[in-house]
């Protein structure tokens, strides 16, 4: 009989023998597209939009060679939901794990697909993904626990969409007259990057539907006529199968569910996607408006004509994803009231020293520094455990093996989605809106919490998240409303920094920094002699942040007449959406 060690070695060898390297050669450039019949310039790849799908199987190596042909904008790619174990330098956010890729610059991302699931990639630069730079990332599972329960798979992307280019929207948002902290409101809803969608079904078959929200602002609510969703995965984490009739997919979230076709074909059916632009969809009242809807088609037989109209009178049976149960039955990490690192983040809005609207954790807005934070961790030796040296990036240092608890107290009147890079966290508690801030007791934590990487935090309430610090790196934790990232709603987790000291930066990554004169060593200010001397570090947000190639701009002087007109327009917009004083 083979020993267990021999068996595992042979199994691993067999697995590695089937793994492959998948290479993509991408030119990021501007193209024209009209997904909702409005033609505009978007950011595409290799002259095409929508952008291509990255697809592989667990164990595969992905290599993405990028050339930035945008001409006027720097760029970069984040692979949302991937752990990046050992490849933390490939995570993608500029100023955090890399320098931005300058126009004309080349850059290579290389990483292993270590976990299965439905993910996506998108730019983490200057709000570029609402301008189109985003696409699905699908990792197939050779050991899918739900294998045999479905016949085919579909990817269904949902997103809000804007007709005005993002740089213009940023300029309009970051003005002193935006006293209500209003983000830009979208012009359309897209499903599969179109204003229409169709799923082709055959009677008796079961389909795995992989939903990806690529939205920058609003959640999307989904319901399928006469077809029950059987939820099996959230954000790449399997859950015990749960029936659902309605789901709310917040920006950056993903769901996998099974839909079983009707056994006989009497007619075609519809499904409804509604863009949730409310502060809190569950509150009803004046804010409960649905300005954008797409009725998709579940088509069995084209000869039977279009399905009858399908409408959803109220979104009242939305599945509570915090009540799902992880399929692997992983118990709550740590004890209910005992953790090694307790990070409390109170979120609200305010104004910077120039009167520009910003978003804040614990009264601090994120300010990108001269040296990417990961490079500071690489190059400052044992001093890399000192959060001060990272500058105003809302840094929190956690040691390897720590049980880390993140509490977000949402002091705003709107629901906000929060994402942690490099991790699947446990969702320990997420009460309904209006429950106030966390009191510090874990008595309501489930024995087996669900896991995901993006969680919607209810209005005037909180969420408690946990993970074990086993992935050395520098990881962002931020709101995934892209406008709020631009406004500074980010924090930085410096995880197991002792294991980061002395690691090297890939040559092509160094090259893009050197081409732009960006320092790659030392503290946040680039000081390599005295790490606690932050003279020259960024202490005021750029207005707006245009990246290293573009000079810092002063706050524009607005005439009294223009200021009055702009204030009046913002006030009317606030009244239209009943959102005076909130920053959804």
CB atoms within 10 A of CB 308: 10
- CA nearest neighbour of 115 among 140, 90, 149: 140
Taking the CA atoms of 507, 509, 515 and 518 in sequence, report the sign of the dihedral they define. Answer: negative
Buried (b) or exposed (e) across 391-420, using 16+ Cβ within 10 A?
A: bbbbbbbbeeebbbbbbbbbbbbbbbbbbb
Task: Give the pTM.
Answer: 0.91
Q: What span, in angstroms and rounded, lies between the C-alpha atoms of 523 and 388? A: 9
CATH class of the region 17-140? mainly beta
Res. 559: pLDDT tops 80: no
Angstrom distances, CA of residue 531 to CA of 42, 525, 527: 42, 9, 6
Tell me the fold of 152-323: Immunoglobulin-like (2.60.40)
Q: Where are the domains of the chain?
A: 17-140, 152-323, 341-515
Q: What span, in angstroms and rounded, lies between the C-alpha atoms of 254 and 119? A: 7
What is the 8-class DSSP label of residue 331?
A: P
Angstrom distances, CA of residue 431 to CA of 225, 315, 476, 576: 29, 18, 24, 29
Identical topology for domains 17-140 and 152-323: yes
DSSP annotation string for 242-296 = EEESBEEE-TT-EEEEEEEPPSS-S--EEEEEEEE-SS-GGG-GGG-----EEEE
**CATH architecture of the domain with residue range 341-515:** Sandwich (2.60)
Give the pLDDT band of residue 289 (cuts 50, 70, 90). Answer: low
DSSP annotation string for 122-181 = E--STT-GGGT-EEEEEEE-TT-TTTTS-SEEEEEEEEEE-SS-HHHHHHHHSSTT-TT-
Reported as a single tens digit per residue, the pLDDT across 60-112 is 999 999 999 999 999 999 999 999 999 999 999 999 999 999 999 999 999 99
- What pairing do the DSSP bridges indicate for beta strands 229-234 and 254-260? antiparallel
Res. 565: pLDDT tops 90: no
- Please, what is the end-to-end C-alpha distance for the chain in angstroms? 62
Q: What span, in angstroms and rounded, lies between the C-alpha atoms of 29 and 27? A: 6
- Residue at token pair 């501007």: 30
Q: Facing residues of 159 across strands?
A: 190
Q: Which are the contacts of 507, defined by CB distance < 8 A and separation ≥ 6? A: none
- Residue at token pair 């539907």: 209
- CA nearest neighbour of 185 among 540, 505, 481, 463: 481
Q: Does the bond joining 50 to the residue before it have cis omega, within 30 degrees of 0?
A: yes
Q: What share of residues in the chain are helix, strand, coil (percent, to 5)?
A: 15, 35, 50
Average pLDDT, the chain: 89
Are 584 and 410 contacting, i.e. CB atoms less than 8 angstroms apart? no
Structural tokens at position 54: 């990255």
Reported as a single tens digit per residue, the pLDDT across 157-193 is 999 999 999 999 999 999 999 999 999 999 999 999 9
Reported as a single tens digit per residue, the pLDDT across 341-371 is 999 999 999 999 999 999 999 999 999 999 9
Reported as a single tens digit per residue, the pLDDT across 403-450 is 999 999 999 999 999 999 999 999 999 999 999 999 887 778 999 999
Average pLDDT over residues 498-521: 97
């Amino acid at each position: 009989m083979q020993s267990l060690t021999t068996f595992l070695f042979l199994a691993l060898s067999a697995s590695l023998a089937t793994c492959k390297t998948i290479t993509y050669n991408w030119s990021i450039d501007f193209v024209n597209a009209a997904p909702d019949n409005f033609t505009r310039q978007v950011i595409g790849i290799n002259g095409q939009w929508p952008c291509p799908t990255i697809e592989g199987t667990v164990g595969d190596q992905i290599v993405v060679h990028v050339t930035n042909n945008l001409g006027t904008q720097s760029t970069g790619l984040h692979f949302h939901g991937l752990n990046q174990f050992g490849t933390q330098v490939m995570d993608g956010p500029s100023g955090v794990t890399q320098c931005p890729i300058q126009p004309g610059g080349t850059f290579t991302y290389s990483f292993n697909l270590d976990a299965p699931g439905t993910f996506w990639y998108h730019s983490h630069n200057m709000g570029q993904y609402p301008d189109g730079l985003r696409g699905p990332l699908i990792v197939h599972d050779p050991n899918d626990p739900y294998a045999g329960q479905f016949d085919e798979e579909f990817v269904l992307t949902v997103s809000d969409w804007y007709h005005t280019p993002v740089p213009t929207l940023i300029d309009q948002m970051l003005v002193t007259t935006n006293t209500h902290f209003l983000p830009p409101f979208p012009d359309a809803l897209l499903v599969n990057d179109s204003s229409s969608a169709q799923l082709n079904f055959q009677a008796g078959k079961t389909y795995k539907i992989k939903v990806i929200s690529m939205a920058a602002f609003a959640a999307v609510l989904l319901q399928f006529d006469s077809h029950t969703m059987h939820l099996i995965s959230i954000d790449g984490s399997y859950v015990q199968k749960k029936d659902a009739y309605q789901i709310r997919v917040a920006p950056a979230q993903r769901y996998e569910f099974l839909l079983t076709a009707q056994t006989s074909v009497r007619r075609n059916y519809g499904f409804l996607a509604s863009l949730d632009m409310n502060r809190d969809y569950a509150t009803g009242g004046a804010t409960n408006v649905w300005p954008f809807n797409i009725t998709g088609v579940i088509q069995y037989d084209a000869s039977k004509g279009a399905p009858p109209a399908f409408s959803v009178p109220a979104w009242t049976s939305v599945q509570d994803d915090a009540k799902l149960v992880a399929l692997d039955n992983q118990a709550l990490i740590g004890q209910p009231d005992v953790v090694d690192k307790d990070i409390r983040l109170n979120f609200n809005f305010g104004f910077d020293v120039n009167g520009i609207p910003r978003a804040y954790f614990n009264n601090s807005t994120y300010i990108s520094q001269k040296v990417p934070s990961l490079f500071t961790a690489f190059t400052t030796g044992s001093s890399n455990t000192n959060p001060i040296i990272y500058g105003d990036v809302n840094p929190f240092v956690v040691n390897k093996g720590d049980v880390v608890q993140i509490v977000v107290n949402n002091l705003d009147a709107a629901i906000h989605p929060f994402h942690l890079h490099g991790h699947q966290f446990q969702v320990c508690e997420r009460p309904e809106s209006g429950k106030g801030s966390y009191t510090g007791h874990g008595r309501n934590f489930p024995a087996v919490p669900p896991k995901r990487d993006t969680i919607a935090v209810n209005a005037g309430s909180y969420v408690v998240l946990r993970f074990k610090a086993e992935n050395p790196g520098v990881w962002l934790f931020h709101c995934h409303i892209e406008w709020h990232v631009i406004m500074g709603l980010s924090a930085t987790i410096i995880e197991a920094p002792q294991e980061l000291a002395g690691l090297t930066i890939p040559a092509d990554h160094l090259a893009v920094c050197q081409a732009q004169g960006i320092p790659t060593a030392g503290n946040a200010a680039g000081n390599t002699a005295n790490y606690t001397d932050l003279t020259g570090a960024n202490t005021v947000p750029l207005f707006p942040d245009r990246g290293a190639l573009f000079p810092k701009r002063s706050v524009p002087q607005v005439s009294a007449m223009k200021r009055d007109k702009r204030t009046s327009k913002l006030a009317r917009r606030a009244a239209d959406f009943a959102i005076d004083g909130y920053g959804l």
